[in-house]
Amino acid sequence: MQNINKILNIGSKHLKKSSVKSPKLDSEILLSHVLNKNLKEMILDCDFKPKNNDVKKFRSLIKRRISREPIAYILGNKEFWKYNFYVNQNVLIPRPDTEIIIEEILKIFKKDQKISVLDIGTGSGCIIISLAKELPKIYGTAIDISKNAINVAKFNAKMHQLKNRIKFYNSSVDNFFKGKYDLIVSNPPYIDNLKIKYLERDIVGFEPLVSLKGGQDGASVLNKVIKKSSSLIKIGGKLVLEIGYNQKYKVMNLLMKKKFHINKIIKDYSNNDRCIIATKL
């Protein structure tokens, strides 16, 4: 029987050989998941010898990671903002850069404001659910073109006791006509279809293409979101969009054509333009 230290080393060696980016950390996360211990407990207890069955389970998870399945899908969850979300291959894995959207919205609206919020392309529901948690008086509506994504988002809303405050619709943005909103938020697919094939295997091989493909220039869904938002938003309402690193001017133009005033463009942690905030005039 081998101890934790030895098992971790073997796992990380296999991952390294297959050029997985963070072999040591991934090996630790997967073993801690199998043993149901947090990372700290596991490292402190590194002489412990896990049962054969657990070692077998660990090996099968390492194999999945070698095939480049992302850790979040293997574990079935991902932290976003302050919360944990169930994820599977029907939804994009929530990204830390998207937390910028939450951070900026919390600078605009106060905790006791009663506002109606629409999330377009909700995926796992991470944006609307985090907002509803932080702003307890908002009413949320969330739409997604993918029925399977809506099911995941509903599950997450239930897990976070928000079933009664967020309505979910399986709808494309083009076909959605319900309500008038104080705030519309969207992280739409914005990658140029021709560039999808250059993404890492972890992404392109596992995450849903409908959450990545933004059309010929990457801005076709963004364009639809802006057009539709222009009629669904109240005068003076805010539109907050996540955008691709090279889409600032294109999106600014689209917004100005639809009579939005650009308030702010925020950079992500890698210093790329990532989020744009506009007000409907």
Residues forming the site for ligand SAM (CB under 6 A)? 92, 94, 98, 120-124, 126-127, 143-146, 149, 172-173, 187-189, 210-211, 221, 224
Nearer to ligand SAM, 98 or 229 (CB): 98
SS (H, E, C) the chain: CCCHHHHHHHHHHHHHHCCCCCHHHHHHHHHHHHHCCCHHHHHHCCCCCCCHHHHHHHHHHHHHHHCCCCHHHHHCEEEECCEEEECCCCCCCCCHHHHHHHHHHHHHCCCCCCCEEEEECCCCCHHHHHHHHHCCCCEEEEEECCHHHHHHHHHHHHHCCCCCCEEEEECCHHHCCCCCEEEEEECCCCECHHHHHHCCHHHHCCCCHHHCECCCCCCHHHHHHHHHHHHHEEEEEEEEEECCCCCHHHHHHHHHHCCEEEEEEEECCCCCEEEEEEEEC
Min dist CB 193 to ligand SAM, Å, is 13
Min dist CB 160 to ligand SAM, Å, is 15
Min dist CB 94 to ligand SAM, Å, is 4
Q: Tokens representing 270? A: 């890698």
Pairing of strands 77-80, 83-86: antiparallel
Min dist CB 64 to ligand SAM, Å, is 22
Nearer to ligand SAM, 117 or 221 (CB): 221
Min dist CB 66 to ligand SAM, Å, is 26
Nearer to ligand SAM, 106 or 210 (CB): 210
User: Which residues are 275's β-sheet partners?
Assistant: 242, 266
Nearer to ligand SAM, 8 or 191 (CB): 191
Q: Tokens representing 264? A: 């702010």
Min dist CB 28 to ligand SAM, Å, is 25
Nearer to ligand SAM, 5 or 84 (CB): 84
Nearer to ligand SAM, 32 or 146 (CB): 146
Min dist CB 153 to ligand SAM, Å, is 9
Nearer to ligand SAM, 20 or 143 (CB): 143
